[in-house]
Amino acid sequence: MADDPIPAQLNPYPVELKEGTKYYWCRCGRSLNQPFCDGSHEGTGIEPMEFEAPKTGTFNLCGCKQTDDEPFCDGTHNLL
């Protein structure tokens, strides 16, 4: 059984992403390298999400780990 994700923060992380580059978004909330995975999920049953940036630019990645648009912020943090 997987642990529940914990909110890393209740705001999105604005990050610069490069088109075509693979990233690993932290789903568990335990990474010290937010919003990206640092391996802290080991033993939680939660795996990071691999994704490619759709284009080069600034994106808001979810910090609360409750978004329905992983890995992007969808405003869910405003309801927590």
The pLDDT value recorded for residue 80 is 86
Write out pLDDT tens, residues 20-35. Answer: 999 999 999 999 999 9
The answer to whether residue 53 scores a pLDDT higher than 90 is yes
Bridge partners of residue 53, in order along the sequence: 19
User: How far apart are alpha carbons 72 and 23 in whole angstroms?
Assistant: 12
pTM score, whole prediction:
0.93
Q: Please state the domain extents for the chain.
A: 1-80
Residue 78 burial by CB count (10 A; 0-12/13-18/19+): exposed, middle or buried?
A: exposed
